[in-house]
Amino acid sequence: MDRFDLVRESFEKKAVPVEVPGAKTSDYFGELVFDRKKMEKYLDADSLRALLSCIEGGGALSRKEADGVAKGMKEWAMEHGVTHVTHWFQPLTEGTAEKHDSLIDYDGKGGVIESFDGKALVQQEPDASSFPSGGIRATFEARGYTAWDPTSPVFILDDTLCIPTVFVSYTGEALDYKMPLKRALKAVSDAAVPICRLFDPTVDKVYSYLGWEQEYFLVDEALYAARTDLMITGRTLFGHNSSRNQQLDDHYFGSIPPRVAAFMRELEIAGHKLGIPLKTRHNEVAPNQFELAPIFGETNLSNDQNQLVMNLMNRIARKHGFVVLLHEKPFDGVNGSGKHNNWSLGTDKGTSLLAPGKDEKGNLQFVTFFVNVLAAVQKHNALLKASIASATNAHRLGANEAPPAIVSAFLGRTMTNVLRKLLELPSDTPIEIAGKTGRSLGLVEIPEIFLDNTDRNRTSPFAFTGNRFEFRAVGSCANCAGAMTTLNAAVAEQLLDFKKALDKELSAGKCLQVAVMDCLKPLIASVIDTVCFDGNGYSDEWKAEAARRGLDVETNVPKMFCEFTKKASVDMFTRTGVYTERDLAARNEVKWETYEKKIQIESRVMVRMAINHIIPAALEYKDKLLGEVARSKEIYGSTDRCKAEMKILDEIDTNVTEVLEKTDEIKLALAKADAIADEFGRAMAYHEIAESFPTLRTPVDKLEEVVDNKLWPLPKYREMLFIS
Ligand code: ADP
Ligand code: MG
């Protein structure tokens, strides 16, 4: 089959009909989740009570209680045809890990029975020595175990009961994404509650909320399979821009093609059955780029759901003849994919801490949290950037598309004005509700609901959007926990500091309003001049200005990771109980190693494709042209009539030579990099190699322009991006 057959086949594919449940969404929503309703139905009273108190208050189940819970779960699971069980965890690789065990056990009479007990529910010991741990699990302590996280509900995927777990070493270090996230969520609650109680003494807990927006590309599977680079690295390493890409801006508003709509529908149904409140689906800016987003939820749960959705997307896309690309930059020259993390805090009494209040006191509380978040983002702007940095996200960072390589915060006109006024006016000035007070004093006012006050500044990596901040720099294939752990922990630290300062003012006899404002003012003055920026985050002037303001402007990803082990970060993470210093050092080793491996694989694929796919195609065309020239000489006695052929031959020769030279250079650089002993040094060397990729890509893409279309072996951008 040549490329044209693949293209024709892809083009002719029709939408596969989707099996739609003959019921309302609300009837099957959560069908495959062991949620509160199922607990009440399948658990005996003691097990139910124990489990609920464990979910609400932390703590652990006794062996007997765990057995009771497992018994009910087993009954429910078997009604759904479940035969296997797995602990489902999030190691420091992309995606989730599972080790399936069949439910069978010997019955003592020569047969087997289905068995699942509390021990199997609560703890497992996967032979997981090959998961990255940055040396924490050196051989002498190689055991890591997975432990059930009862705050994430158990669910069924196909024939398997999946139990969300944390993955930790026997010495207590977290080996995954979930454990630190849970610690950070606890830290932010513990730090926020004492402040909330000054406004509402009944508050017991503060929740962190996450609403992610997942961007992705779809590409036909036949075309995908013919692109080694996409298959192996998730992105195209070569490929000349399509004559048309996204300049018409028509895809964003366009209707969804039927084959894609069928995929989306099936994904939604599967997600809803798993209790994932998928809400929006639409085209994105680039051709064949799309987005889906659920209704936001508690951060730990919402992140699990994102992991699960990425998994579902991969599986369901194949049914529809597509492959999902979650890579941040699958195609050069068109927009990449991100995963906006909409984030907020709220109390267990239902008050959002990042939305305007219902009265002056509520507004004071809002401003308190609003400013403290900004202060945390200011202090840890470099670290927050490091938390979203990766080899794949590097292609977006600072490359004139979201996100810029500088973490600043967008406030919008209203909140900027509010902060400026608060700074100028005496501390006892109340923050009124715009248009509602009737007192028309209106010195500082916040509208109850932001409508168009938060103009859409798409260039800001951290934007206030009325009732939440949108951390837009997170990569599309990332585990949100990386960013969410850092953000929640940084805010927790800031709230601890703030509370300390506030207590001092309060004990000096100041009223709450004045004490709060006296503590907020220096913070406001500082954030306004540093991290707050409402202009164009992509402009060169901003890069210079940001550096002047002392914001981090580093673009080298391996170097960014060094932020994690700087004193301010270590202090923050240890104080909040999220990471030990050893954790941080080990995790950096993992990050550098992952970075290197990704670049190493890309380098190898590039070199091989250049040698095995590109040069042979170019030489075949060269041969054809030389034949024409030779025949021309035979017939006309000269090559005068072959000016075009000669010109193309020149171009082929020049570029083929260049390709060969560059592949040799990359091979040499790889050998040199691999000889470096320390992880950071090697990562830096690989960074150099990544920077040199365009020198190989450019001549290859030039060849694509000159070589006969019929002879070009790889599906082209225009084919991958426009067939759906
Ligand atoms: P847009 O594309 O306009 O930014 P979307 O509706 O696609 O908005 O996504 C916004 C996301 O933000 C959704 O997941 C939504 O549930 C979430 N969200 C809304 N309010 C909050 C909040 N207070 N805290 C966290 N996430 C929120
Ligand atoms: Mg958004």
pLDDT over 50 at 139, yes or no: no
**Global confidence as pTM:** 0.95
Q: Give the pLDDT of residue 268.
A: 97
- The average pLDDT across 202-207 equals 97
pLDDT over 80 at 207, yes or no: yes
Q: 213 in ligand 1 pocket by Cβ < 6 Å?
A: yes
Substitution site in 185, 207, 213 for ligand 1 pocket (most atoms within 8 Å of beta carbon): 213
Burial-class residue 719 by CB neighbours within 10 Å (0-12, 13-18, 19+).
buried
pLDDT over 50 at 312, yes or no: yes
Q: Give the pLDDT of residue 448.
A: 80
Position 40, amino acid: E
Domains and CATH numbers, the chain: 32-176 (3.10.20.70), 185-239+246-579 (3.30.590.10), 592-720 (1.20.120.1560)
In ligand 1, the atom with minimum distance to the C-alpha of 294 is 14
Could you read off the pLDDT of 479-525 as tens digits, one per residue?
Answer: 999 999 999 999 999 999 999 999 999 999 999 999 999 999 999 99
Could you read off the pLDDT of 221-267 as tens digits, one per residue?
Answer: 999 999 999 999 999 999 998 877 676 666 666 788 999 999 999 99
Q: 479 in ligand 1 pocket by Cβ < 6 Å?
A: no
- The average pLDDT across 174-178 equals 93
CB 135 within 8 A of CB 586: yes
pLDDT over 90 at 144, yes or no: no
In ligand 1, the atom with minimum distance to the C-alpha of 346 is 23
Q: 297 in ligand 1 pocket by Cβ < 6 Å?
A: no
Substitution site in 253, 296, 457 for ligand 1 pocket (most atoms within 8 Å of beta carbon): 296
Ligand 1 centroid distance, CA of 210 (Å): 8
| For ligand 1, atom 24: residue with the closest CA | 344
Of the ranges 92-96, 421-425, 535-539, the best mean pLDDT one:
421-425
Q: Which has the higher per-residue pLDDT, 115 or 232?
A: 232
Helices marked H in 389-440: 412-424
pLDDT over 70 at 129, yes or no: no
Could you read off the pLDDT of 651-662 as tens digits, one per residue?
Answer: 999 999 999 999
Ligand 2 centroid distance, CA of 465 (Å): 8
Q: 342 in ligand 1 pocket by Cβ < 6 Å?
A: yes
Other beta carbons within 10 angstroms of residue 127's beta carbon come to 10
Contacts of residue 105, Cβ cutoff 8 Å, sequence gap at least 6: 112, 113, 114, 115
Burial-class residue 149 by CB neighbours within 10 Å (0-12, 13-18, 19+).
buried
Continuous segment of H or E residues that includes residue 701: helix 679-706
Pairing state between β 339-347 and 322-325: unpaired
Q: Give the pLDDT of residue 479.
A: 97
pLDDT over 90 at 170, yes or no: no
Ligand nearest to the CA of 402: 2
Q: 246 in ligand 1 pocket by Cβ < 6 Å?
A: no
Ligand 2 centroid distance, CA of 578 (Å): 28
What letter would DSSP give residue 425?
S
**Percent of the chain topping pLDDT 70:** 95
In ligand 1, the atom with minimum distance to the C-alpha of 212 is 14
Q: 302 in ligand 1 pocket by Cβ < 6 Å?
A: no
**317 vs 266: CA distance, rounded Å:** 9
Pairing state between β 462-464 and 409-410: parallel
Strand partners, 88: 98, 164
Where is average pLDDT lowest: 56-65, 325-334, 424-433? Answer: 56-65
| For ligand 1, atom 17: residue with the closest CA | 211
CB 176 within 8 A of CB 91: yes
CA geometry: angle 391, 394, 400, nearest 5 deg: 165
- C-alpha Rg value of the chain to the nearest Å: 28
pLDDT range class, residue 413, cuts 50, 70, 90 = confident
Q: 209 in ligand 1 pocket by Cβ < 6 Å?
A: yes
Beta strands (DSSP E) in 529-607 are none
Position 602, amino acid: E
- The average pLDDT across 118-131 equals 79
Q: SS3 for 283-329, per residue?
A: ECCCCCEEEEEECCEEHHHHHHHHHHHHHHHHHHHHHCCEEEECCCC
Q: Give the pLDDT of residue 450.
A: 73
Ligand 2 centroid distance, CA of 358 (Å): 25
Taking CA atoms, 122 is separated from 485, 576, 703, in Å, by 24, 26, 58
Could you read off the pLDDT of 6-32 as tens digits, one per residue?
Answer: 999 999 999 999 988 988 999 999 999
Mean pLDDT taken over the chain: 92
Burial-class residue 559 by CB neighbours within 10 Å (0-12, 13-18, 19+).
middle
In ligand 1, the atom with minimum distance to the C-alpha of 280 is 7
Q: 296 in ligand 1 pocket by Cβ < 6 Å?
A: yes
- The average pLDDT across 388-413 equals 87
**254 vs 251: CA distance, rounded Å:** 5
Tokens of 370: 């609003």
Beta strands (DSSP E) in 435-567 are 445-446, 462-464, 469-471
Q: 293 in ligand 1 pocket by Cβ < 6 Å?
A: yes
What letter would DSSP give residue 709?
G
Ramachandran area for residue 95 (φ above 0: left; ψ -120 to 50: alpha; else beta)? left
Ligand nearest to the CA of 340: 2
**93 vs 478: CA distance, rounded Å:** 9
Q: 280 in ligand 1 pocket by Cβ < 6 Å?
A: yes
Q: Give the pLDDT of residue 220.
A: 97
Q: 454 in ligand 1 pocket by Cβ < 6 Å?
A: no
Substitution site in 215, 300, 342 for ligand 1 pocket (most atoms within 8 Å of beta carbon): 342
